Structures are given as structure tokens and as C-alpha cells.
Amino acid sequence: MSDTTIEKKNAEDVVSPHAYAPSGGRDEEVGTVNGQLHTDLKSRHMQMIAIGGAIGAGLFIGSGSALYKGGPAALVIGYLIVGIMLLFTMQALAELAVLYPVNGAFYTYVVRFVDPSWGFAMGWDYAIAWLTVLPFELIAAGITIEFWRPDLNVAIWVTVFLVILSLIQIFGVRGYGEVEFVLSMIKIAACSGFIILGIIIDCGGVGDRGYIGAKYWYEPGAFKNGFNGFAGVFVVAAFAFGGTELVGLAAAESANPRKAIPKASKQVFFRIAFFYIINLFILGLILPNDDERLASASGANSSYSPFVLAIQDAGIAVLPSIFNAVITISVISVANSCTFGSTRTMQAMAERGMAPKFLSYVDKAGRPIYCVVVQLAFGLLGYLGVAQNGLDVFNWLLALSGLSYFFVWGSCCVAHIRFRMAWKTQGRDLREIPYRTPLGIWGSAIGLGLNFLCLIATFYNALYPSPNAQPDAATFFQAYLAAPIVIALYLFWKAWSGDWRRMWVKLSDIDLNAGARPIEIDDEDEIMEMKTWANLPKRLLSAFF
């Protein structure tokens, strides 16, 4: 194939976010009034969103409570299981996003390939999760400042960071991409630096503890609190990995989704293996799991971040403050992602008539402006953090998003499975798909199975958070409230639409053409050959590297 032909095909990859509308084409009524989402995200933005976009309080703070509950081995294994699950989920999402780079991404895929009612439940569940996480991140950012200035009211910093987020929105998706690019670079540098420092601490190069080695894995032990402790790790891990799916959501605003999405999805492997697993393994080597300070390492309490505690125990001056600054930056980064995740989902749902119509409006600068206003209005809930008993109310709001990621990730896998089944049923050739997952439908089946196992483990932990605990209604619903909310949303749309007769869209009725960007079979030399099991090792390596 000539370079000219390749350039022509790459240019065709720039797809309008309105490529798939409820009617099967562009929504003419919306299109005549609204602007369109801009395709301003470059490949470098997508890669940084994939590698470091979701690294935040879940890793830097929440991992401390997970270490305290389950021990170092349970910490590493739990995060690894969720990480493997996300590898398969992101590969499935990448295949769909490259072929259908449409607005709403996985919400649209679930509606289209699974069931509109379940898509409605997933869309609103995901939007609500980000809406409620934003005020939490604002409070978290304010609390991290208390590390230096405990005399200042957190409300001051909630206001400051909310103003900063509002200013970022002025620049649209390009502003989001540039901010994430810079902040992700800082987070990646911090994670890399901690690995080096952790090795030095463990070998006795810093501090007065001498050579530590793996003694904390023997005493107090690698596991703690049995299965209860192990199950408790999954809740923290899901929160830590939340936001990985934003790469798929950004497909509609990527300049070249066919090139950028697969490349960004492969970066998930490096984030899981390097920035999570290695960091947490080293953390378990240099910090004992029976350290009582870790009991307070939850939410936004950065003073008890295990990373900061490990550095303080090594007797290193100044560096704890530097790492706390990194945590502050990480929290702001996740807050920035909140405004992207919720606004794009709500705007896509409004285009399909599953949200108030005014939310579908996109201004000339490519901003879903009313969705942004709604998200920033939810940011005002951050002031609950300084009200009397306000955090109790806020904990219940956060409970709405507790399991949201497991439901969304599992639904992505189901959507990919149903897509592949429809593709086969309608006699389409797999070679038309520009990017194909290494294990195909089986990879998504594994991802779905692991999601289900995580839901079971979380259910058990919600009932029995510790070995001797008895079931408590308040404790259970704070951990599992998202499940009945999802069911309620699903039943609501079934009743509203009157669509009680079917559980899912028939494979033969699925529209595989609207918004699709397949390739010509003659252009097979442009993609990886994934037809035979003999090429499986090469396919796996190509998918992750």
C-alpha cells in the first residue's frame, strides 16, 4: 500500500462524534443547533491518559488501608487480579472504540449490542459515580494541603481547586488533554522515583533499620485477616483503577482513533505492572502491615499515605512534603477526569433521549457546556466536608459509586462478546475489524468472569468486613449501594420504555454499520494478522507492547 493511500485512510479515521445517533445516523435536530465535540486529543494525550490519568488517592492513600486489612501478599494479588481483569476489558473496549469511535463509547456500545435499558442503567450509574467523586476529590485536595497548613479551613482549598477546574473547562477537551499530559508525567516520575528509593530503603541504604529484605512478609506476615482481608482489597483496588476506561470514552474526540486507541490501551499493561504492582510490592517490603497508622489511610487522609509514612520512617527530610505535593497533584488530576467522564456520558445519553434534552447541547468550541455546569455544581458538595456531620452525608453519596466500575467494566466485556456474536451471525469477516483483541471473545469472557468474582468478594466483605464482624445494614449498603441503584435504573427504563418483552437486542437486529469504520479486506497488510493459534504468542506480545 502506498504512503498516499495510508494517509488517506488515516484522515478518514477522524470521525464526527455524532456519527452514531439514535436514528442510526447523525441527529439532525441536534446537529442543526449544536456544535460538535472537537477531535483535539492527540496520541500523546491518549497515552498519558491511559498510563497515569487515573493514578490518584486510590493508589497513594487507599493502598495503605488495603495493606492494613489484607497484608502485603493480599495487596499485590488483589491489585493484580483487578489489573488482569482490566487488561482484557481495555482490549475489548479498544476493539470497539477503533471500529466505532462514537460519542458515549461504552454506554453507546451497551445500548447498541446488549440492551437499551441496561445501557441506561450503566450510563447513569457511571455519570453519577463521576458526579459524586468530584466533590470527594476536591475535599481530598484540600486535606492534602493540611499537611503543611492545618490552620487553614479546607473550604478555602475546595474553592480554589473548583475555580481551577472551571478555568480548565474554558479550553475544552484540548485543555483536559494538556493538563492530564503534564500531571501524568509528574505522577509517573514520582512512581518511578519511589521504586528506586524503596529498593534503597529495603537494602538498608537509608535510615537506621539496616537491611530489611522480606522480613515483613514473615513477621507480621504476608496475609492478614484471612479471606475477609483479601476480599477487602478489591474495593480499594477498583477505586484505584477507576478511570482507566476513559481512554475508550475519549475515542470520539481523538484526532486518529485507529492509531491512538490501540496504542493507549497497550499502555495499561505498563501501568498495572510497573506503577501499581511493583510500587505496592516494594511498599509491602518496607512498611509492616500492623502499623496502626495505616488504619487511618483511607479517603483523603494523605498524612497517613503509606508512601509518605515509608519515607518518614526512613528519616528522609523534605521528601515527604514533595511526595505529598505529588498526591495533591494526583487528586487534582482525577478531579479533572471527573469533569470529562461525566459530561461526555451525560451528553451522549441526552442525544439518545435518555437524559434531559438540554444536556445534549455542544457549543461552537466543542464543549458540552450544560453538562459541565451540572458537574461543577456537584463540586459544590465539597463544602459538606467542613459542615457538621457533613462527611457522614458525603460517605453515603460516595456509596453510589462504590461498585460502579465493576458494573461498567463487566458491561464492556458483555458488549464486546455480543458484538462478536452479532458479527458472526450476520456473516461479516473478522478481517474487516481494524484492531482485534489477542484472545477475541475468550478474553472478554475472562474479564467478565473476574468482574463477577470481584463483585462476590465485595459482597462478602460488605457483610463481614472483619473476621469477627456481624452483618450491619449501614456498613453493607455503604459498600454495596450501587447494586440496588443499578437494578432500580434498569427497571425504571424498562417501565418507561415499555420494553418488557426482551432481555437483550437480537443478534440479527444489531446494526453493525452505523458509525463503523471497517477496513477493506484487501488492506489486510495494514493490521496485525490474528487468524491462527500459531500466531498467538506474537499476537499477545503485539497487544501489550
User: Mean of the pLDDT values across residues 285-314?
Assistant: 83
- Structural domain includes residue 82: yes
Mean pLDDT, residues 327-354 taken together: 84
CA distance 192 to 188: 6
Residue 250, sorted as left (phi over 0), alpha (psi -120 to 50) or beta, turns out to be alpha
Q: Which residue has the higher pLDDT, 98 or 519?
A: 98
- Specify the CATH number for the domain of residue 319: 1.20.1740.10
Would you place residue 46 in the very low, low, confident or very high pLDDT band (cuts 50, 70, 90)? low
Burial class (CB in 10 A: 0-12, 13-18, 19+), 259: middle
Residue 230 CA to residue 250 CA, distance in Å, equals: 33
Q: What is the pLDDT of residue 379?
A: 86
Q: Is residue 361 part of a domain?
A: yes
pLDDT value, residue 446: 94
Is residue 429 included in any domain, yes or no? Answer: yes
pLDDT band for 37, please (50, 70, 90 cuts). low
Least confident residue range of 23-37, 262-276, 296-310: 23-37
pLDDT in tens, 229-278: 888 888 788 777 877 777 766 666 666 667 767 776 766 766 677 778 88
Decide if 17 is inside a domain. Answer: no
| Per-residue pLDDT at 410 | 92
Residue 394: predicted pLDDT:
65
314-336 pLDDT, tens digit each: 888 888 888 888 888 888 888 88
Determine the Cα–Cα distance for residues 204 and 213; give it in Å rounded to an integer.
Answer: 9
66: pLDDT strictly greater than 80: yes
Q: What global pTM score does this model have? A: 0.83
Q: Quick one: pLDDT at residue 423? A: 92
Confidence of residue 413 (pLDDT cuts 50, 70, 90): very high
Residue whose cell numbers read 453519596: 397
Residue 427, C-beta contacts closer than 8 angstroms, at least 6 positions apart? none
Q: Does the pLDDT of residue 449 top 90, yes or no?
A: yes
- Per residue in 122-154, pLDDT tens? 999 888 888 888 888 888 788 888 878 888 888
Mean predicted confidence (pLDDT) in 90-107 = 83
Residue count of the chain, please give it. 545
**What is the average pLDDT across 442-463?**
90
**Residue 514's pLDDT is what?**
78
Domain span at residue 238 reads 27-544
- What separation in angstroms does the CA of 122 have from each of 12, 335, 451, 478? 30, 21, 15, 19
What residue type is assigned to position 113 of the chain? F
pLDDT grade, residue 414 (50/70/90)? Answer: very high
Q: In this predicted structure, which of 43-47, 147-151, 354-358 has the lowest mean pLDDT?
A: 43-47
Asked if residues 63 and 299 have their Cβ atoms less than 8 Å apart, the reply is no
User: Residue 119 has what pLDDT?
Assistant: 92
Tell whether 12 is covered by a domain: no
- Is residue 18 a part of any domain in this protein? no
Question: How high is the pLDDT of residue 9?
Answer: 41
Residue that wins the pLDDT comparison between 38 and 415: 415
Q: Which of 37-41, 245-249, 322-326, 468-472 is the most confident on average?
A: 322-326
Would you say 345 and 126 are in contact if contact means Cβ atoms under 8 Å apart? yes
CB 124 within 8 A of CB 489: yes
Q: Residue 22: its pLDDT value, please? A: 37
CA angle 258, 261, 266 (to 5 degrees): 125
Mean pLDDT of the chain: 78
Number of domains forming the structure of the chain: 1
